[in-house]
Structure 1
Amino acid sequence: MGELKYLGEQRYEGLDEISAIARAIGWGASDILRSFYRGEPSTGNLNIQEKTGGPVTAADLAVNAYILEKLQASIGIEDFGYLTEETYQSQTSLPIDHSWVWIIDPLDGTRDFIDKTGEYAIHIALVHQGRPVLAVVAWPEAEKLFYAIKNGGTFEETRDGSTTQVQVSDRNSLADLTLVVSRTHRDQRFNQLLQQLPCQNQRAVGSVGCKVATIVEQKADVYISISGKSAPKDWDMAAPELILTEAGGKFTHVDGQPLKYNQGDVNQWGCLIASNGHCHEDLCDRIQQILAQIDQNA
């Protein structure tokens, strides 16, 4: 493998080869998840464990081990750190002391996986100094894989290896935008926000990766995350963020600030807005106003 270099001004050398490796791993991980999803004898029982942060299954653990093994065998451990949902608690210290860190969710949407909605995904992201520069989001049940490299666009890859560049919609009126929302993870404050937004079209989709895939396929335009007692984690957002932004969208905190990863706290607190970008600032302003009013009346 060639040397990975940062050339300055958000330019990188060597990411194409690493992207090809990550995509192959994404397809392999998809095969493992689909085997568990279908209850094939070779994979065994799901062994569902309900934990504080949500359910964990044998599928999460098997795919986590597979991705780490394949990545580390291909590119090593000297130049890269690894942060995954299933291993972060065993890290001796956070943030991970590397400029280049892989952030991995082996099964985003575990509840959807268990409930058989088909809307689960695999997230693999490489971040450099806290910002994503390479991403893979695999949607096993759709047999699609989305990938992006910083400043290189977003592409959809199918099983036969064919690729198509994808772009967000050009809808640019708040009232015309469609929100992609969760079936669960919706508290009273979030529901109050949804009721007062000018965009009332909604589409229910599970995993964050699947939500963002829905936006880059122009079937929706906006995703909103508001933390309550808990918050989404680095591995929920890192890969989907780059998939969206390289397809022309925007993904920020509600105040317009960028997300940062591998900062020590894996939680992404606050209100996060992902959109097709055309009304992003207006949408953020409107959401800030509505939330301020909701909190004032609480």
Structure 2
Amino acid sequence: MIELSQTAAIILKSYYRGSREQLEVLDKAEGPVTVADKAVDRHLLEGIQAMCGDSCGYLTEESYQADDLELPQEWVWIIDPLDGTRDFIDKTGEYAIHIALTYQHRPVLAVVAIPESDRLYAAIAGGGTYLVTPDGIRKPVRVADGKNLNELVVVASRNHRSKKLIELLARLPCQQQLKVGSIGCKIAAIVEHRADMYVSLSGTSAPKDWDLAAPELILTEAGGKFTYQDGSALKYNRGDVSQWGCLVASTGKWHQQLLDACV
């Protein structure tokens, strides 16, 4: 899976260095799609299906249809070939690849690759999170938890900032913010000690399973927490891929206090 993710990153980087016209951007209701999204989606699906065949289900951003139901398999791969397509188009460098294997609606294996910085995070449930260097060295990573509540840095979006979310962020006991693109890059900022919290609040739309499954496991296996506002665990492959409501990710130490502030 590491090698497959690395080759997917190479494909994205090649498209990233091309022109907007070469990306063939198609604007959809849920956001833009490019030929890069589709190429990496094919690459990842072909690679994973060659390993797993029909024993698993496959849920990807590019293959999902609005009328799809919950996949019947216990083991389901959830894939976002290009998380942060808008940042990819705008060339901020803050885009990522998400790959997660879920078992009975929960992630058990995850990779989040950030091509422009050559960073790749991998996690297995119960096995911790590792930064995998381009030459294959694995370095364990852990979140930082030494700050006071008012010192926490909230990582937030540049683009997806509804009035409700702005009002919620203003109520938090911590007011320092770091603006970052894709959700994968946001969670990477937390495990890299550049930020301490992320909050998602749905409005007319919501993050999808493929936005969250891989980043969640990367964070939680590094010692953090990622839950719904009521403290319950996130669930995937439930038929509706949208993750409605308020979701909070943090380094863990102040997680309950942050959940209480989001009511």
Moved more, 81-90 or 226-235: 81-90
Inter-partner Cα distance in structure 1 for 2:118 and 2:141: 16
Please state how far the C-alpha of 1:75 moved relative to its aligned partner: 2.2
1:126 to 83, 90, 101: 101
> Which residue does the alignment assign to 1:15?
none
Q: Which amino acid aligns with 1:173?
A: N
Please state how far the C-alpha of 1:90 moved relative to its aligned partner: 7.7
Please state how far the C-alpha of 1:172 moved relative to its aligned partner: 4.4
Moved more, 145-154 or 81-90: 81-90
What SS does the corresponding residue of 2:23 show, helix, strand or coil?
coil
Contact 1:172/1:279 (CA < 8 Å) preserved in 2?
Answer: no
Identity over aligned pairs, percent: 58
Structure 1: gaps of 5 or more residues: 1-21, 289-298
Inter-partner Cα distance in structure 2 for 1:108 and 1:233: 11
> Which residue does the alignment assign to 1:52?
29
Q: Which amino acid aligns with 2:61?
A: E
Contact 2:59/2:79 (CA < 8 Å) preserved in 1?
Answer: yes
Q: Which amino acid aligns with 2:86?
A: R
> Which residue does the alignment assign to 1:162?
137
Q: Cα deviation per residue 1:9-64 (whole Å; 9 max; x = unaligned)?
A: xxxxxxxxxxxxx1111101100000000118xxx810000001000000000000
Q: Cα deviation per residue 1:86-121 (whole Å; 9 max; x = unaligned)?
A: 001187x41011000000000000000000000000
Inter-partner Cα distance in structure 2 for 1:175 and 1:194: 13
Alignment of 1:73 with 2:50, yes or no, is: yes
Alignment of 1:280 with 2:255, yes or no, is: yes
What SS does the corresponding residue of 1:36 show, helix, strand or coil?
helix
Greater gyration radius: 1
Please state how far the C-alpha of 1:193 moved relative to its aligned partner: 1.4
Inter-partner Cα distance in structure 2 for 1:134 and 1:73: 18
**What is the Cα-based RMSD across aligned positions, in Å?**
1.2
Contact 2:171/2:261 (CA < 8 Å) preserved in 1?
Answer: no
- Structure-to-structure mapping, 1:220-259, within 5 angstroms: 220-259=195-234
> Which residue does the alignment assign to 1:5?
none
Inter-partner Cα distance in structure 1 for 2:104 and 2:144: 30
Inter-partner Cα distance in structure 1 for 2:260 and 2:131: 32
Inter-partner Cα distance in structure 2 for 1:75 and 1:81: 9
What SS does the corresponding residue of 1:137 show, helix, strand or coil?
strand
Q: Cα deviation per residue 1:247-288 (whole Å; 9 max; x = unaligned)?
A: 000000011011100000000000000000000011101111
Inter-partner Cα distance in structure 1 for 2:170 and 2:47: 45
TM-score, scaled relative to structure 2: 0.97
How many residues are matched? 262
What SS does the corresponding residue of 1:45 show, helix, strand or coil?
helix
Inter-partner Cα distance in structure 2 for 1:196 and 1:286: 7
> Which residue does the alignment assign to 1:295?
none
> Which residue does the alignment assign to 1:33?
12
Contact 1:171/1:177 (CA < 8 Å) preserved in 2?
Answer: no
